[in-house]
């Protein structure tokens, strides 16, 4: 199958990631407004909204770009498909990462503006602790394993529901509430709201996500050493808000 033109794929990744972060940040702002005294209810409201939005976005842009919406998914897709040429070409990887990151920043700005907040406000929510970094390793590894296990097992039609379900669950079973996405992590540094993360906390979170990428790919190769189908996934990871520590 012929790939869509690169500019179309980059636009899809930019727009998809922008809307993803808009959903994450916007649902966090709305949840904080509606349920200011109940942290658990805020997280429930935001997790449900994000899970449904993610599934919709996968369906929306997946046919164009694969709906990676996440640099670690793009990196894994390139690595796993580099020998067969079935994955993301190396020359396109940098473009995907740039489109995802700028889209994530744009999504945070858009959410801020929709709710009458300053367009850009650096988050003051510090998330710097070993248990949170471990949570990011677990969340990212599980996401990578799920995404590419579905692809290698030839089960991509269930990807939108499966990935949305995983992210909805990971809000609750990981200590970090599953950011699991370097681009979204950067974007969330631009909003001082429920979903924000202080800029100083971003590098360690991204490092943990990269470690999760390595763990996830290792588990995938152990469990699915041979791909039943081409490993290019039409699905995506997401990040979620964390209640301030």
Q: What percent of the chain has pLDDT over 70?
A: 92
Assess if residue 207 is contained within a domain. yes
Assess if residue 170 is contained within a domain. yes
Encode pLDDT of 126-173 as tens digits: 999 999 999 999 999 999 999 999 999 999 999 999 999 999 999 999
Whole-number Å distance between alpha carbons of 179 and 176: 7
Q: Is a pLDDT exceeding 50 seen at residue 191?
A: yes
Q: What percent of the chain has pLDDT over 90?
A: 86
The pTM for the full model equals 0.92
E strand intervals along 3-91: none
Whole-number Å distance between alpha carbons of 217 and 244: 31
Domain that holds residue 174: 6-223
Assess if residue 236 is contained within a domain. no
For residue 226, name the pLDDT band (cuts at 50, 70, 90).
confident
Look at residue 82 in the predicted model and tell me its pLDDT: 86
Closest CA to 169 of 38, 54, 18, 16: 54
Closest CA to 94 of 76, 77, 71: 71
- CA 166, 217, 24 angle in degrees (round to 5)? 35
Assess if residue 230 is contained within a domain. no
Whole-number Å distance between alpha carbons of 215 and 26: 31
- The domain total for the chain is 1
CATH at residue 23: 1.20.1080.10
Look at residue 124 in the predicted model and tell me its pLDDT: 92
Encode pLDDT of 38-57 as tens digits: 999 999 999 999 999 999 99
Q: Mean pLDDT throughout 6-19?
A: 98
Look at residue 203 in the predicted model and tell me its pLDDT: 97
Look at residue 206 in the predicted model and tell me its pLDDT: 98
Q: DSSP code of 188?
A: G
Q: Which residue has the higher pLDDT, 236 or 191?
A: 191
Whole-number Å distance between alpha carbons of 166 and 150: 13
Look at residue 1 in the predicted model and tell me its pLDDT: 62
Encode pLDDT of 195-208 as tens digits: 999 999 999 999 99
Assess if residue 237 is contained within a domain. no
In the predicted model, what is the mean pLDDT of the chain? Answer: 92
For residue 234, name the pLDDT band (cuts at 50, 70, 90).
very low
For residue 84, name the pLDDT band (cuts at 50, 70, 90).
confident
Q: Mean pLDDT throughout 13-24?
A: 98
Look at residue 220 in the predicted model and tell me its pLDDT: 97
């Amino acid at each position: 199958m012929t790939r869509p033109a690169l500019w179309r794929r980059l636009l899809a990744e930019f727009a998809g990631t922008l809307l993803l972060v808009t959903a994450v940040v916007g649902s966090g702002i709305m949840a904080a407004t509606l349920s200011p005294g109940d942290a658990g209810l805020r997280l429930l409201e935001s997790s449900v909204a994000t899970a449904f939005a993610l599934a919709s976005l996968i369906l929306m842009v997946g046919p164009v770009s694969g709906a990676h919406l996440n640099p670690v998914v793009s990196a894994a897709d390139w690595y796993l498909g580099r020998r067969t040429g079935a994955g993301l070409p190396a020359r396109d990887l940098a473009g995907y990462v740039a489109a995802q990151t700028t889209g994530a920043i744009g999504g945070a700005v858009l959410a801020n503006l929709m709710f009458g907040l300053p367009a850009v406000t650096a988050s003051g929510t510090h998330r710097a602790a070993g248990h949170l970094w471990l949570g990011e390793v677990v969340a990212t590894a599980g996401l990578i394993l799920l995404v590419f296990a579905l692809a290698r097992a030839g089960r991509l039609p269930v990807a939108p529901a499966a990935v949305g379900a995983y992210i909805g669950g990971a809000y609750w079973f990981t200590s970090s509430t599953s950011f699991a996405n370097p681009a979204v992590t950067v974007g969330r540094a631009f909003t001082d709201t429920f979903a924000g993360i202080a800029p100083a906390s971003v590098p360690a979170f991204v490092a943990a996500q990269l470690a999760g990428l390595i763990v996830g790919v290792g588990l995938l190769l152990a469990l699915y050493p041979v791909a039943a189908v081409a490993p290019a996934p039409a699905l995506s990871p997401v990040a979620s808000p964390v209640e301030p520590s």
